[in-house]
Amino acid sequence: RCPLYARRKPGIMTLQELLRFRDAIRSTSRRTEKIQIFGELFRLLRDDEVEIALALFTGTLPFGKLGIGPATLRQALALSHSKGTHSVSLQDLWQSLHPLSQIEGPGSQERRIQHLTEIFRRLALEEAQWLAEVLLGEVHQGAGERLILEAIGKTYGIPESDLKQAYLFGLPLSEILLQARKGHVKAEPRIFTPVRPMLAHPAEGVEEALDEMGSRKVRWEYKLDGARFQVHKDGREVRVFSRHLREITHSVPELVELVRSFGPDRLILEGELVALNDQGRPLPFQHFMRRFGRKIGIDRARKLQPLTPFFFDVLYADTATISYPLEERLKILGEIVPTQFRIPALLSETSSEIQTFFQQAIEWGAEGLMAKRLDAPYVAGERVGLWLKIKPYFLIDCLIVAAEWGHGRRRGWLSNYHLAVWNEDRSQLLPVGKTFKGLTDQQFEWITQRLLALKIDEFPGGIRVRPEIVVEVAFSEVQESPTYPSGYALRFARIKRIRTDKSPQEANTLEDLDRLFQLQHARTPKDSPPQ
């Protein structure tokens, strides 16, 4: 039994008490001990404290986007001096945080700082620092959502399968805990509770995807460079959620109006939102991403940049369809959604046909292909190999000019690398992005030692180095970027190998990137996607 509050009876929980539980969980690496500590915490929390306690542990406050960044928090902390001596209750803290989500309009940043300052003044320094971590979404305490879920199951004797299914169907941890206290957890999709999206494994190409899928029937779909969405409908009420389960209904009125016209009355559909140019080809995601999160000027933005949905799955149609095989779900989808709003697809087992379809997808402006088993159910929130994604990628040699210290599994290694290419006469290096992906643990360890030997100076969280390490970088696209002096950024960059065989002067140039950028935008326009 956890010794923290062995004799304490359930009552009002303070932030100071919750902090002791956090410290206890941070101080042990043993999973069984963490679960035991959570079990004691669950015993002490009142029902009306569960939501905020778990939000503080997971760093996911349910207020939506608050518009708070590191600079705002630093200023509020400095102004507050955090002199609180009597810890606030969790309920008081909850009520004081909620108004932050309502602050908008002219002068909103100053009002946020003022409101945060007042909150921090009531807290001890350690409490204020923890709250700042939560507001930034940078909580590191050795207890993720899956561990908390396991602790709920162990504490209340709920089968792991029921808990996992409820979690993947989008139930918040707080609601799962409250249900578990009553002795059972109901696991089924619910309208207006977004389901965690099914995920895909990457495949290097069509041939590898065919090998992975074996002799099973496969549907090949365009993989669009859009915003994945999930739309829920109950009668006239329609709500739209992003792939990260955040509600974006207000930002996409054209999607709401379209889905209102669909039958049946209760629906959950999935798809991709894209913006099309005058030739009917999709624009890159960066051209319309500002639509999401926008609260004012929606009508004007809609006229300037209308969005088109392409639907690819149905999870609910007056009854849950999530367990149906894809082939059956697609038949239902075809009865609901008009052809022009469905993802272009191909049924084939012939490599040459699929390769041709792949090329058509790229020429039209898609990112690549998806391969989906027709006999597969929808496995919410999981990456189980039933779906594969195939994308072409470019290769370029970059120099590492700086690196940041890693977090979590990468703690202790320099593992977020700042990448740069030469200008035209190779007299100056121009940053084009960052990545921590692609290396093994052994490579992380080797490159950390090498970069430390090349260190020029330090900056908060990392070091600048002499540009001597060349890395071959794979990426999906060259994007225009206002952030980098080069004017470009590499999208989905990952290191394929460390080029110890190349000298720094052999790294690529900005001219090479510019050529790739022009190549991307020189594809033959198509009036519409092939059906």
Which residues are part of the catalytic machinery?
223
User: CB of 80 within 8 A of CB of 128?
Assistant: yes
- In DSSP notation, 177-199 reads HHHHHTT------BTTBPPPPP-
CA distance 44 to 293: 37
Half-sphere exposure of 444 (CA within 13 A, CB side): 19
Q: What is the chain's length? A: 531
Q: Which DSSP state fits 394?
A: E
Sorted by sequence, the CB contacts under 8 Å of residue 415 that are 6+ apart come out as: 403, 404, 405, 406, 436, 439, 444, 448
User: Which residues, in sequence order, are bridge partners of residue 389?
Assistant: 202, 370
User: Which residues, in sequence order, are bridge partners of residue 471?
Assistant: 398, 498
Secondary structure of 92-124 in the HEC alphabet?
A: HHHHHHHHHHHCCCCCHHHHHHHHHHHHHHCCC
User: CB of 370 within 8 A of CB of 228?
Assistant: no
- In the chain, the amino acid numbered 167 is Y
- In the chain, the amino acid numbered 110 is E
Longest pairwise C-alpha distance within the chain: 73
CA distance 8 to 69: 38
User: CB of 325 within 8 A of CB of 510?
Assistant: no
Cis status of the peptide bond prior to 264, with omega within 30 of 0? yes
Give CA 220 to chain center in angstroms. 24
User: CB of 274 within 8 A of CB of 224?
Assistant: yes
155-162: Cβ within 8 A, 24+ apart? 155/35, 155/38, 155/39, 155/42, 155/43, 155/180, 156/42, 156/180, 156/181, 156/183, 158/184, 158/185, 161/187, 162/187
CA distance 159 to 506: 58
